């Protein structure tokens, strides 16, 4: 049995404005993209810590936006209203992007739990 893998992602730099897509990097590898050579799954995503502004995180595959959208309000570990996120991922090149929707422009972080190690 493979143990789940936890990765922290941080917005690469303070967004230039609200509603602007910003790259997100893996805190461990310092990379903004990762490649899956075999299927994997996201088991959960949570803020780390919960930002004061509202953010939307978008998963991209092979350079294109996917339907996966995560919102900081639903990822707050301190509330009973947190929604546990889970979805499958096929082979490909992935990246996370962040869009700050409101609040003072700032860097934010979130944690992703994957079913298997990333390559």
Structure confidence by residue, pLDDT tens digits, 15-59:
999 999 999 999 999 999 999 999 999 999 999 999 999 999 999
**Whole-number average pLDDT of the chain:** 92
Whether the Cβ atoms of residue 3 and residue 115 lie closer than 8 Å to each other:
no
| pLDDT of residue 80 exceeding 90 | no
The band of 81, judged by pLDDT with boundaries at 50, 70 and 90, is: low
| pLDDT of residue 119 exceeding 80 | no
Residue 3 to residue 11: CA distance in whole angstroms: 26
Q: Which range among 15-19, 74-78, 81-85 shows the weakest confidence by mean pLDDT?
A: 81-85
Residue 74 to residue 6: CA distance in whole angstroms: 19
Whether the Cβ atoms of residue 25 and residue 96 lie closer than 8 Å to each other:
no
The two beta strands, 33-36 and 109-114, are: unpaired
Domains and CATH numbers, the chain: 5-114 (2.60.120)
Shortest CA distance to 23 belongs to which of 1, 31, 85, 90? 31
| Residue range 50-72: mean pLDDT, rounded | 95
């Amino acid at each position: 049995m493979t143990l789940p893998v936890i990765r922290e992602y941080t917005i690469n730099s303070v967004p230039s404005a609200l509603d602007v897509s910003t790259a997100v990097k893996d805190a461990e590898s310092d990379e903004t993209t990762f490649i899956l050579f075999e299927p994997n799954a996201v088991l959960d995503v949570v803020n780390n810590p919960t930002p004061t502004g509202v953010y939307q995180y978008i998963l991209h595959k092979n350079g294109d936006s996917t339907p996966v959208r995560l919102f900081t309000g639903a990822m707050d570990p301190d509330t009973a209203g947190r929604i546990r996120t889970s979805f499958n991922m096929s082979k490909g090149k992935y990246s996370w992007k962040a869009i700050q929707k409101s609040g003072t422009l700032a860097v934010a972080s979130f944690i992703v739990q994957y079913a298997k190690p990333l390559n």
